[in-house]
Amino acid sequence: MEINGVLIEGFEKWLQTLGYAESTVTVSVNYLRDFFFYLKDLPADRHGNEISNLGQINKQTLDNYHSYLQTRKNKRQTGSLSQNYITSNINALKRFSKYLQVTEKAVLEIDIRPQPNQVQKHTILTRGEIGALYKACGNDFLGVRDRAMLGVYYGCGLRRSEGLALNLDDVLLREKLVYVRKGKYYRERYVPIREDLENYIYTGRAKILGFKNIRQEAFFLSRSVKRMHGNSLINRIHRLAKLAKIDKGTDLHTLRHSIATHLLQSGMGLEEVSRFLGHASLESTQIYTHVAYEAPAKEDVVYE
């Protein structure tokens, strides 16, 4: 089957039909598009043949692509791509392989496994670095929104997609809880609220709503009074990290990983942390334990 845009469009519609989160659909399509661009830029073989159809892709091609990702420079930050990024990239190709299989379009086996020395390590911020992020927030309505962003992704430990899907009605101020409607695998849960969210609702968000006379259910609003996109939130966290002079790769998932580690360091039980994060099993939570017990448990932090 010829490699073209029709494959990408079909893959995207398939993911949407299966109910994948919007963010997962977007990144999966982008990763597949990157893979196709990689194939297009490959030099022709000794017979002058270029890869133009799926049948020409073999295990060596995929292994070479995996090696390419390991050495490719990060376009947004200094250094190489994170292992999490690479894993997500390969998982997207595996979804594409499944799409080809169930639609009987082609057979493309993706058998790429991390090497033993490529164990995924999460970037963890110290309590002091989290405090520096809060201090970097401005006093205008965007700064108030930034603090709410930290409150959702660090204070509440939400996943990227969960925070993006958050609606105003999901923030239960009276009960001091956040209702996570669109958790992973459609699991719902409640998490404790931070005061930064209430401040944002009555000041920052109210200011943004004043730009246009429209109703909007989304919790995080852009200047155009629309639901914010993931890249917009990531750009804001990168800006805060730069102002706070944090050299580590910092994104929305970094905040979630950090709160998980800090809770364990504070003595919260593994099962309780697992419920807080919305994990399906304790195994998913245990990845944070080695960091929690290696890093110092106490470090002064000021959020105000």
159 classed as catalytic: yes
47 classed as catalytic: no
Token pair 């006093």 is found at 139
Q: Identify residue 187 by its one-letter amino acid code.
A: R
Q: Identify residue 248 by its one-letter amino acid code.
A: K
Does residue 57 contact residue 111 with C-beta atoms inside 8 Å? no
275 classed as catalytic: no
122 classed as catalytic: no
**Calpha distance 110→275 (Å, rounded):** 33
Does residue 126 contact residue 299 with C-beta atoms inside 8 Å? yes
**Calpha distance 126→299 (Å, rounded):** 8
Q: 105, 181, 184, 189: which is the annotated catalytic residue?
A: 184
Provide the token pair at 182.
């669109």
Q: 98, 229, 253, 275: which is the annotated catalytic residue?
A: 253
Q: 95, 182, 256, 257: which is the annotated catalytic residue?
A: 256
**Calpha distance 78→85 (Å, rounded):** 14
33 classed as catalytic: no
Q: 66, 160, 236, 279: which is the annotated catalytic residue?
A: 279
H-helix segments, the chain:
5-17, 22-41, 59-71, 83-102, 127-136, 141-150, 160-164, 195-199, 205-209, 230-243, 252-265, 270-277, 282-286, 289-294
Provide the token pair at 152.
């959702």
Does residue 108 contact residue 57 with C-beta atoms inside 8 Å? yes
66 classed as catalytic: no
- Give the catalytic positions in this structure: 159, 184, 253, 256, 279, 288
